[in-house]
Amino acid sequence: MKGFGLFILMGLLVLGCARKEVGLDGGRWIDLSYEFSEETIYWPTSDPFKLETVFSGVTDQGFYYSANKFCAAEHGGTHMDAPVHFAQGKRPVNEIPLEQLMGPAVVIDVSEQALKNRDYLVTVEDFQNWEARHGEIPSGAIVFLRTGYGRFWPDREKYMGTAERGAQAVPKLHFPGLHPDAARWLVENRTIDAIGLDTPSIDYGQSTHFESHQILNGQNIPILENVANLDQLPATGAWVIALPMKIKGGSGGPVRIVARVPEG
């Protein structure tokens, strides 16, 4: 029994160390996801989120009961682009390893440039300038690009450049994104687990070839889009968990993202 007790004690000590390593002790939680409703922003060619009431009220047996059903595209609101979204043969959303969906976060703030230019593209220089101040992007990091456009949610016109729907609206999209050269620099020079930003797409609104999607997804890197509250994260020090709906074979899906931010 003494041996068993010692085994349990050692296990608890290891667990305690692990919790400190992942930043779960102390600090506060930040929700990086928007709620899904009729206001949720989707790509102009996608149907909006629909929630239908199946039943709400008191049953014949005398107890309260409520149930709904919903219909939604994979890509809309706060969601994940699985690697297979733009890279044939790469991982669907249900096959992304859990360890790739949680880790230290870094926030590259380009809001000053992006708010002056709706078509701003995050550059290699933006990453290099960030590293000059904060050190090299750590291996296994989840990288967030803060453009400042989260402040416009859920105003479709301010957030994505147009409130119109349908194929004719796509050429009118204007919002910042990641330059393909910067995406290529990331995959060739750094080892990141995922990347996200506070706009509808990692490729800017005027993109027609979605090169940054292709580059990142081609390296099995998932992409998080329409991320909320990036203004509440520090440049370094946060720990992020991003768990998508586990859709078998899915090219993406709604995702709940939370961040643990140290106090002080």
What's the pLDDT tens digit per position in 50-85? 999 999 999 999 999 999 999 999 999 999 999 999
Mean pLDDT in residue range 95-104: 98
pLDDT for position 26: 75
Give the pLDDT score at 25: 65
Query: Which of the following CATH numbers is that of domain 27-33+74-261: 3.50.30.50, 3.40.50.150, 2.170.140.10, 3.40.50.11540?
Result: 3.50.30.50
Question: Per-residue pLDDT averaged across 106-131, rounded?
Answer: 98
| pLDDT over 80 at 10, yes or no | no
pLDDT above 90 (res 22) = no
Statement: residue 1 has pLDDT above 70: no
> Mean of the per-residue pLDDT values for the chain?
93
The answer to whether 76 and 42 have CB atoms below 8 angstroms apart is yes
Instruction: Check: CB of residue 164 under 8 Å from CB of residue 44.
Output: yes
Output the pLDDT for position 264: 66
- pLDDT digits 0-9 by tens, 150-201: 999 999 999 999 999 999 999 999 999 999 999 999 999 999 999 999 999 9
Average pLDDT over residues 214-229: 98
Q: Could you state, in order of their start, the residue ranges of all structural domains in the chain? A: 27-33+74-261
More confident residue, 11 or 196: 196
Confidence check: pLDDT of 253 > 60: yes
pLDDT for 24: 59
pLDDT score of 242 more than 60: yes
- Give percent of the chain with pLDDT exceeding 70: 90
Closest CA to 138 of 90, 104, 166, 89: 104
Cα separation, 169 vs 166, in Å, equals 6
pTM greater than 0.85: yes
- A 10 A CB-CB count for 101 gives 20
Nearest to 234 by CA among 257, 255, 256, 264: 264
Give the tokens for residue 114: 């992006």
pLDDT band at 13 (very low <50, low <70, confident <90, very high): very low
Q: What is the pLDDT of residue 20?
A: 38
21: pLDDT confidence band, cut at 50, 70 and 90?
very low
Per-residue pLDDT at 225 exceeds 90:
yes
Distances from the Cα of 176 to the Cαs of 5, 18, 34, 110, 194, in angstroms? Answer: 56, 37, 19, 10, 18
